[in-house]
Structure 1
Amino acid sequence: MAEGTSDDFRGLGWAHGCLTVQRLGAMLAPVTFLLPGGRQVSPMHIAPWADEPGGGDLPGILRRLRGEWPCVPFGYTVPADGFTPEWAAQIKPGAPDEAPHGHASNAEWEWTEVGPTEIRLGLDYPGSSLVARVERTVTPDPDAPAIDLTFQIAVREDCRLPIGLHPVFRLPSAVGGARLEPGAFSDGHTYPGTVEPEAPLFARDREFDSLTAVPGRDGGAIDASLLPLEADTEELLQLDGIDGTAALANEAEGYRVRLSWQKEHFPSLLLWYSNRGRQMAPWNGRHVAIGVEPICSPFGLGPATALSDNPIARSGVATAIAIRKDDPLVTRYRIAVEPL
């Protein structure tokens, strides 16, 4: 059993499925959608250690890692060692109280309303934060196998912040059994450093225009659209100027999950390839999932770097969004499934 109390999870059922939200990180999963003909599919990922004892010792974001959740500020600071010179010059130190993917990803939210048609949660940030409060609403579509989500950010003073959404989808067991289908984008970028030193796959700091031909660390091109990958790896790719849509076609299981969002808030898509690449606990070489993450951020490289003159910001793609004290940011997005 997962460590927690009965108040840690709330659920809803509707004509086209059922869903669960947990207070920790306000994470959405498990979700089961009902397709025409009565077939049930569950596209959201749940980490294999989520129900194991001892999870209380992990950082909040990892403790019961699952599904989808919002992140503000998005990202976390890493050392500049190993990055290409152009990026290393812009990687700034993190704040002493920095939490990976922000306070909201690691804290217990409060239920503000749980009714028959939606779940609402809210979270006050520490007084030292520029962020004052975040709120989240999860609403099943009564007429479709889909969920509409709203995320609101209120700040204590006018500021710019990197923000992101963090959907993580389950993958079939067969190599290449699913296909990533991003919407139209202007530029693709490989990570300018090394995510996992023992399991690199893509060349550092290279551009590409199709997921089917991403430059490899050892030369050649890799089809990064077919998942899961054959190689054991932990990698990141960023698609800039994307049109606000992406999908994962799970061909092995006969369904497609679609994600749509407001591109004016999230001009980039971060793809997190977690493919048995991390060997340390709790990952233990067994974590297989794909993060399909709408962001306003440079690879999630921490708030200070997001505000710097980093190469993505220099190219004209925003890596932080302006939010005014008297005008909370409200963004809406949707997760939907359909048969193949």
Structure 2
Amino acid sequence: MTKLGEARSLVWQHGVVSVEDLGGQLGPTLFVLPDGQQVAPFHVAPWADEPGGEELPGILKRLRGEWPCVPFGADADRAPGDGWPGSQAATTLDPFPHGFSSNNSWRFETDADGSIVLSIDYPEDHPIRGLRRTVTPDPNSATIDFTLEIDVRADCTLPLGLHPSFRLPAKLGAMRIEVGSNVAGMTFPAPVDASSIFSQGALLEPWHHVPLVGGGQLDVRQVPLAHATEELVQLLDMPGRAALWNSAEGYRVRLSWNPEHYPSALLWFSNRGRTFAPWNGRHLALGLEPICAAFDLGQQVSAAENPISRRGIATARSFRAGENFITKYRIEVEPADVL
């Protein structure tokens, strides 16, 4: 069994929220809607409590919910394709996938009234000194407010991201991604996985019309997809808001964030495509991830000129030594029609 570390929970009139120390990840969270319905929209990986979990990277051991990624992505030995800079794993600033904080234990603060507050110190040779995360249920609604503080040790340029991941209904197409058709997108510039079917490095206008490797096109607004696949689509120049409508269970999740901090959003279609352990062809989730990054390609690619930054969309943020960067975002749940 994967060893469970420390966790904290808060009960409020409109639900129960829990946070785990590993990765600071939001655990199972129940929202009570005005019509009395109880919904649990966040994803929990099916292997979270299975034997052998201790052998997995920290981020995968109990993969769930939502958490911040500083830096976002991971450097690796790769050349993504035409117009994209390469990167090397050997020179990486942070060797952990989605950053040190995504793979290590945070510590909880004890004097947080009405909130769950936790923080983590980074290694002494890292340009980030540490993070502080505050999770606060709204006393008046089925809403959670988040604050992330980044304490900067040294000048640096890093990709940033938030990683909300949502549970999908079993019925094909029963969750609709509500992002306006005026938004453009881009597919990942390489195969995400052996199962990937999206054409690589394609500019999408609108974002949901995706060309396929074998020809034809797929409208990806409704998930789960009919194909077993693993895909990434970056939504470009986002307005700082998006929603997911679960038409099978009758609720909508709304996300809002500061678009100056996160000008893009990454859609992670984890649609039973990965057949190796621990995924084993059973992982079904959707990530809707506000980012200032070039996909999850890591610091070297995101901080360099790339096809997304050349469109005037920031893919990394410059920090100054001594800066305390603060960003806030919100996730709210409301009743919606059942189809």
Per-residue CA deviation, residues 42-95 of structure 1 (Å, 9 max, x unaligned), is 0000000011122111100000000000000100123435x32222xx022133
Q: Match for residue 120 of structure 1?
A: 117
Cα separation, 2, equivalents of 1:262 and 1:324: 20
Cα separation, 1, equivalents of 2:8 and 2:179: 31
**CA RMSD, 1 decimal:** 1.5
1:166 correspondence with 2:163: yes
Worse-matched range after superposition: 130-139 or 108-117? 108-117
1:225 aligned partner, one-letter code: R
Per-residue CA deviation, residues 218-272 of structure 1 (Å, 9 max, x unaligned), is 2221011110011000000001100001111000000000111000000000000
Q: Match for residue 257 of structure 1?
A: 253
Question: What 5-or-longer segments of structure 1 have no aligned partner?
Answer: none
Q: Pick closer, same or farther for the CA change 1:191–1:145 going to 2, 3 Å.
A: same
Q: How does 1:4-19 map to 2 (within 5 A)?
A: 4-5=4-5, 8-19=6-17
Cα separation, 1, equivalents of 2:225 and 2:62: 24
2:23 aligned partner, one-letter code: G
Cα separation, 1, equivalents of 2:22 and 2:333: 25
Deviation at 1:186, TM superposition (A): 4.3
1:208 correspondence with 2:204: yes
Question: Once superposed, which parts of structure 1, at least 4 consecutive aligned residues long, lie more than 6 Å away?
Answer: none
Q: How does 1:133-282 map to 2 (within 5 A)?
A: 133-183=130-180, 186-197=183-194, 199-282=195-278
Structure 1 length-normalised TM: 0.95
Deviation at 1:183, TM superposition (A): 4.9
Q: Please give the secondary structure, in 2, of the residue aligned with 1:304.
A: helix
Q: Please give the secondary structure, in 1, of the residue aligned with 2:54.
A: helix
Cα separation, 2, equivalents of 1:178 and 1:186: 19
Contact 1:185–1:241, Cα closer than 8 Å, also in 2: no
Of 33, 36, 40, 1:35 maps to: 33
Contact 1:185–1:242, Cα closer than 8 Å, also in 2: no
1:93 aligned partner, one-letter code: Q
Contact 2:35–2:335, Cα closer than 8 Å, also in 1: no
The total of aligned residue pairs comes to 334
Cα separation, 1, equivalents of 2:273 and 2:234: 19
Q: Please give the secondary structure, in 1, of the residue aligned with 2:312.
A: coil
Deviation at 1:2, TM superposition (A): 5.2
Contact 1:3–1:53, Cα closer than 8 Å, also in 2: no
Contact 1:140–1:146, Cα closer than 8 Å, also in 2: yes
Of 300, 309, 314, 1:304 maps to: 300
Q: Please give the secondary structure, in 1, of the residue aligned with 2:300.
A: helix
Q: Percent identity between the aligned chains?
A: 49
1:170 aligned partner, one-letter code: R
Cα separation, 1, equivalents of 2:58 and 2:236: 29
Per-residue CA deviation, residues 189-211 of structure 1 (Å, 9 max, x unaligned), is 011110002x1121111111234
Cα separation, 2, equivalents of 1:210 and 1:45: 27
Question: What 5-or-longer segments of structure 2 have no aligned partner?
Answer: none
Of 44, 47, 51, 2:45 maps to: 47
Cα separation, 2, equivalents of 1:116 and 1:175: 42
Worse-matched range after superposition: 316-325 or 261-270? 316-325
Q: Match for residue 93 of structure 1?
A: 88
1:19 aligned partner, one-letter code: V
Cα separation, 1, equivalents of 2:70 and 2:151: 11
Deviation at 1:113, TM superposition (A): 3.3
